[in-house]
Structure 1
Amino acid sequence: MALCRSFARLLCKQADAGLQLTKQAHSVALVGAPLSRGQKRRGVDHGPATLRAAGLVERLAGLGCQVYDFGDLNFTQVPNDELYNNLVLYPRSVGLASQVLADTVSRAVAAGHSCVTIGGDHSLALGSVSGHARQCPHVGVIWVDAHADINTPLTTQSGSLHGQPLSFLLRELQDKVPQLPGFSWLKPCLSASDIVYIGLRDVDPAEYYILKNYDIQYFSMRDIDRLGIQKVMERTFEQLMGRRQRPIHLSFDIDAFDPSLAPATGTPVLGGLTYREGMYIAEEIHNTGMLSAVDMVEVNPLLGASQEEVNATASLAVDVIATCFGQTREGAHTAFDELPTPSSPDESDSEEQVRI
């Protein structure tokens, strides 16, 4: 079995210098983020426990990764967390939880780990991306999702912060995003050219305006149908790493998959990624050798119609994460250096003749 070694800190430093790291091995920090205040449905806070029960730690360890399990973070529910602008839900609770997560992710990356954050709703990316960017200022983000999650507090129709995290993280939108209570710590850390979307198929009008007018690269499901997933990944890496190598942050919403594959989630949309497309995305990101952090979000075991649906959704999420760290569809192999050769026979020729 290939031994894993810490590389995230080295990756962040060498990526900016344009040095390609090869044959990466991984020291993985696993962070549970049971954040649920970013949306309205109950149950997504059980996501981390569901992924652990589906064998995530064992799968990563089986790939030779050294797993440092940080456990599940404790998030304080702020009392009397009033709506912002009579619409935006739980701003103080989400802001405080995101700050705790940002500090944790920052420490994990600084210690040399690749950080895997399991949620929880997608508002947790406020913390995970911010914490990652503290250590890797030139991080590139691949956002795999049915939704753009880039509404501002002034354009959101639902009021749910899990549909808004990228608007807070994007520098170009700084003058369009009001200061929410609980968000004073948060500073924009991404530029429009640092983000690539894959899998979009349910985009709000204001989000579409932002994608087009701020020149953000995205690949909708129609683009995937038209180009094929191989070309989509080639263009993704050309966008993010065409000029220099840089660490990658993969933020993966399980609803990027078609609901037939991932039914236990809060906002399913028909016509999503196939299993093969999802695994190909993870395989190609792993093959760059530049993956530094992963979010896996929106697995909600309370929304499965049966235990089989919950198990299928959790198993799919574990497959994505494991593939990011080296599992392949050619087989998850341990190190194999040489073929065995025949040893001396158990029986001499004469003994064989007697036996016959």
Structure 2
Amino acid sequence: MSIQKISIIGLPMDLGQARRGVDMGPSAIRCAGIVERLERLKIEVEDLGDIVVGRPENAQKSGTNLKNLSLVAKGNIQLATRVDKIIQGGSFPLVLGGDHSIAIGTLAGVSKHYENVGVIWYDAHGDLNTEETSPSGNIHGMPLAVSMGLGHPDLVNIHGSTSKVKPENIVIIGARSLDEGEKELIREKGIKVFTMHEIDRMGMARVMEECIDYLRERTDGVHLSLDLDGVDPADAPGVGTPVIGGISYRESHLAMEMLAESELITSAEFVEVNPILDERNKTAIVAVALMGSLFGEKLV
């Protein structure tokens, strides 16, 4: 699809995990010049600001080991409604995080508009844990499972039916840190995964070709969920859960450029930029550069 208008919405939430600072991610990305970058591409840009998120001290006890469940659910309910409205208005939703738990709301809003929404999960992690398999209780490690209808009812029932995406419509790219429960779920559900082993062995160009071909034949819209920890921490140090041996800066640009050429992506989010852990806003600058490539920026 040719993108005429992009609507930016931020969810500055750090409640899906334990490290503070990722709530400043949307501000860091704006400071790195995302609006100006997209406007230079002759795309109409509407910045809708940020959703207001409460603090944990105001949260009720949830009776589960899931951290900040009620506030995470509340933030995602608001995000789902906003994303749904953006798409209804004919605009492309670009969501800025915040930790990766915000993908629950993004996909809930997006899924209302597609029969078979596809998901590219660009991440060092699978985020396929549930309350039973999670070692930490951090909800940012659960959004993909939740979006498949697996998890706490307060999360899976956000904005409608429990399952937002079918497992066969998911492609994970860049995985290199998976818990045992996640590995089991990947095998059980037949989720397509390109680990760093496949990227090293096949090359990013072939990985993206296979990903694009796979999703094109089975989906009617594709959401890109890009966690900056998918990129190697040498290039993107400002993330809460860095894992060495990741996708390079240049490989990531190639991936985004190929997605732009495919015209397959219908919504996107960039998450887990943590300025407190960063070096001179380096990770937010990388995020903005990758967004430029995703939306058609070319050298010549």
Provide TM-score, normalisation by structure 2: 0.95
Q: C-alpha distance in 1, partners of 2:233/2:30?
A: 22
Show the counterpart of 1:194: 169
Show the counterpart of 1:242: 217
Q: Give the CA deviation at 1:153.
A: 1.2
Residue number among 312, 318, 331 corresponding to 2:282 in the alignment: 312
Q: Does 1:268 align with 2:247?
A: no
Counterpart AA for 1:82: K
Does structure 2 conserve the Cα–Cα contact (< 8 Å) formed by 1:84 and 1:91? no
Q: Give the CA deviation at 1:180.
A: 4.0
Show the counterpart of 1:325: 295
Q: Deviations over 1:217-241 (max 9, x none)?
A: 0000011001111111111122211
Q: Give the CA deviation at 1:311.
A: 2.1
Does structure 2 conserve the Cα–Cα contact (< 8 Å) formed by 1:93 and 1:182? no
Counterpart AA for 2:247: L
- SS of the aligned residue for 1:74 comes to coil
- Per mean C-alpha deviation after superposition, the further-off stretch among 282-291 and 89-98 is 282-291
Q: C-alpha distance in 2, partners of 1:181/1:192?
A: 17
Show the counterpart of 1:18: none
Does structure 2 conserve the Cα–Cα contact (< 8 Å) formed by 1:26 and 1:325? no
Residue number among 279, 303, 312 corresponding to 2:277 in the alignment: 303
Does structure 1 conserve the Cα–Cα contact (< 8 Å) formed by 2:108 and 2:164? yes
Q: C-alpha distance in 1, partners of 2:258/2:127?
A: 24
Q: Give the CA deviation at 1:182.
A: 9.5
Change (3 A) 1:272 1:88: same
Q: Does 1:90 align with 2:102?
A: no
Q: C-alpha distance in 2, partners of 1:279/1:181?
A: 33
Q: C-alpha distance in 1, partners of 2:159/2:51?
A: 19
Taking the TM superposition and a 5 Å limit, the aligned residue runs for 1:108-123 are 108-123=86-101
Show the counterpart of 1:336: none
Q: C-alpha distance in 1, partners of 2:236/2:228?
A: 7
- SS of the aligned residue for 2:181 comes to helix
Q: C-alpha distance in 2, partners of 1:182/1:201?
A: 26
Show the counterpart of 2:39: 61
Q: Deviations over 1:146-168 (max 9, x none)?
A: 00001011110011000001111
Q: C-alpha distance in 2, partners of 1:321/1:51?
A: 10
Does structure 2 conserve the Cα–Cα contact (< 8 Å) formed by 1:46 and 1:301? yes
Does structure 2 conserve the Cα–Cα contact (< 8 Å) formed by 1:109 and 1:132? yes
Residue number among 183, 188, 207 corresponding to 1:213 in the alignment: 188
Does structure 1 conserve the Cα–Cα contact (< 8 Å) formed by 2:115 and 2:220? no
Residue number among 203, 208, 218 corresponding to 1:233 in the alignment: 208
Does structure 1 conserve the Cα–Cα contact (< 8 Å) formed by 2:62 and 2:70? no
Change (3 A) 1:38 1:247: same
Q: C-alpha distance in 2, partners of 1:74/1:272?
A: 32
Q: Does 1:282 align with 2:256?
A: yes
Q: Give the CA deviation at 1:107.
A: 0.4
- SS of the aligned residue for 2:96 comes to strand
Q: C-alpha distance in 1, partners of 2:158/2:10?
A: 24
Taking the TM superposition and a 5 Å limit, the aligned residue runs for 1:64-213 are 64-77=42-55, 79-85=58-64, 87-171=65-149, 173=150, 177-180=151-154, 185=159, 187-213=162-188
Q: C-alpha distance in 2, partners of 1:184/1:61?
A: 33
Residue number among 7, 26, 29 corresponding to 1:51 in the alignment: 29
CA RMSD of aligned residues (A): 1.7
Q: Give the CA deviation at 1:290.
A: 2.4
- SS of the aligned residue for 2:153 comes to coil
Does structure 1 conserve the Cα–Cα contact (< 8 Å) formed by 2:24 and 2:275? yes
Q: Give the CA deviation at 1:80.
A: 3.7
Gaps of 5+ in 1: 1-20, 332-356
Change (3 A) 1:80 1:94: closer
Q: Deviations over 1:119-166 (max 9, x none)?
A: 100000000011011122322110000000010111100110000011
Change (3 A) 1:211 1:62: same
Q: Give the CA deviation at 1:75.
A: 2.2
Computing the radius of gyration from Cα coordinates, the structure with the larger value is 1
Show the counterpart of 1:256: 230
- SS of the aligned residue for 2:129 comes to coil
Gaps of 5+ in 2: none
Q: Deviations over 1:49-78 (max 9, x none)?
A: 001001110000011110011111112346
- SS of the aligned residue for 2:281 comes to helix
Over the matched positions of the two proteins, sequence identity in percent amounts to 36
Q: C-alpha distance in 1, partners of 2:61/2:264?
A: 41
Change (3 A) 1:74 1:217: same
Q: Give the CA deviation at 1:35.
A: 1.2
Q: Give the CA deviation at 1:299.
A: 0.2
Counterpart AA for 1:290: L
Counterpart AA for 1:206: G
Aligned pairs, how many? 298
